[in-house]
A = this chain, B = another copy of it.
């Protein structure tokens, strides 16, 4: 039955096979030093009796320890997103630490690729049991994959996916698809002839692949729509600057002065910087815009609640952290098969459901 945890133990197998528990153990864990016939015999009985090891007893006896090393961006005022994945990592660790697991967190900044490489190298040299990585810097990351592989250290990618790599798992969101979700919301809410602005606010050296892919998905949505009458006009606005005044100026120029007074327009901001656009709209009392962006930061939440932002898309940052640790745990400790691409849901957040998503 489903509900009954197998009570067959090693001693049962040993008795059946007429050998000692130690020999059974050697077979089960493929530790060699067992005669082929003995091995086969034991294996057969293991299968017949449907033996499942007691993972608790195993962990207790083996005194094995696991070190999970984490390398993610440092959370700070200009980059608060990374606070929450760190909490998720910690929560998961708290649930599994009984199994002799330690979690080491290391941080890097978006500004320094070399520091990232250096830290990753140090981590690898310390021979952790597994690594959880936010591989913002793609090339640097790829260059270390062979070494990790050689040392047999499994690696989980967090938040950013890299194609064709030997990672144990990826945990994060599909950015192209999330762009499509944003597009659906725009399309549903706007008149047929409404203009739409895609605003990319790029303020860091790295980590822009998400932005590009979200725009890509957003545009794909409108290409795929086959009710041809909906010829949406999409403008992309790329902004590097971070100074609020400068940003306002650009927005004013590119959006504010454009066909004022016509029907409601849409603005899709491809990351959490949507709060800066919201701030501009609010200051200038511009209400005739639908505004959609990303992430539940303190600032974005405020503007959603005020109604300046209409929808936010959440990346489930806590769950990203949580799920990454669990992927490593299931792979390393539970020896379960782990799903390689773990795409987390693309949550649509409004004023009405936000309370249930905070801290997810």
Closest 8 CB pairs of A and B: A348-B348, A345-B356, A346-B353, A180-B352, A181-B352, A56-B56, A5-B97, A184-B352
A276 CB-CB contact with B under 8 Å? no
Given contacts A345-B356, A353-B346, contact A102 B177 (CB under 8 A): no
Q: How far is the CB of A311 from chain B (nearest CB, A)?
A: 8
Q: How far is the CB of A345 from chain B (nearest CB, A)?
A: 4
Using a CB–CB cutoff of 8 Å, the interface residues on chain A facing chain B are 2-5, 54-57, 59-60, 90, 93, 97-105, 174, 177-178, 180-181, 183-185, 188-189, 221, 310, 343-348, 350-353, 355-357, 360
Do B351 and A346 have beta carbons less than 8 Å apart?
no
Q: How far is the CB of A340 from chain B (nearest CB, A)?
A: 16
Complex partner residue of A98 from B5, B221, B347, CB under 8 angstroms: B5
Complex partner residue of A346 from B5, B105, B344, B356, CB under 8 angstroms: B356
What is the copy number of this chain in the assembly? 2
Do A353 and B5 have beta carbons less than 8 Å apart?
no
Do A177 and B360 have beta carbons less than 8 Å apart?
no
Given contacts A90-B2, A99-B56, A310-B188, contact A181 B343 (CB under 8 A): no
Q: How far is the CB of A199 from chain B (nearest CB, A)?
A: 20
Do B357 and A353 have beta carbons less than 8 Å apart?
no
Q: Which of A3, A59, A97 has the largest count of B CB atoms less than 10 A from its CB?
A: A3
Complex partner residue of A93 from B3, B57, B189, CB under 8 angstroms: B3
Do A345 and B352 have beta carbons less than 8 Å apart?
no
Closest to A178 in B: B353
Chain B residues near A60 (CB, 8 Å)?
54, 56-57, 60
Complex partner residue of A181 from B178, B221, B350, CB under 8 angstroms: B350
Given contacts A2-B90, A56-B98, A184-B351, 4 further A-B contacts (CB under 8 A): A174-B356, A177-B355, A177-B356, A347-B348
Do B350 and A3 have beta carbons less than 8 Å apart?
no
Chain B residues near A54 (CB, 8 Å)?
60, 98
Q: How far is the CB of A130 from chain B (nearest CB, A)?
A: 14
Do A353 and B181 have beta carbons less than 8 Å apart?
yes
Chain B residues near A5 (CB, 8 Å)?
97-98, 100-102
Complex partner residue of A344 from B59, B100, B102, B356, CB under 8 angstroms: B356
Please list 17 pairs of residues, one from A and one from B, whose beta carbons are closer than 8 Å in the complex, sorted by A's number.
A2-B103, A3-B93, A3-B102, A3-B104, A3-B105, A4-B102, A5-B102, A56-B59, A56-B98, A57-B60, A60-B60, A181-B350, A183-B352, A184-B352, A188-B188, A343-B356, A345-B356
Chain B residues near A99 (CB, 8 Å)?
56
Q: How far is the CB of A92 from chain B (nearest CB, A)?
A: 12
Closest to A4 in B: B102
Chain B residues near A343 (CB, 8 Å)?
356
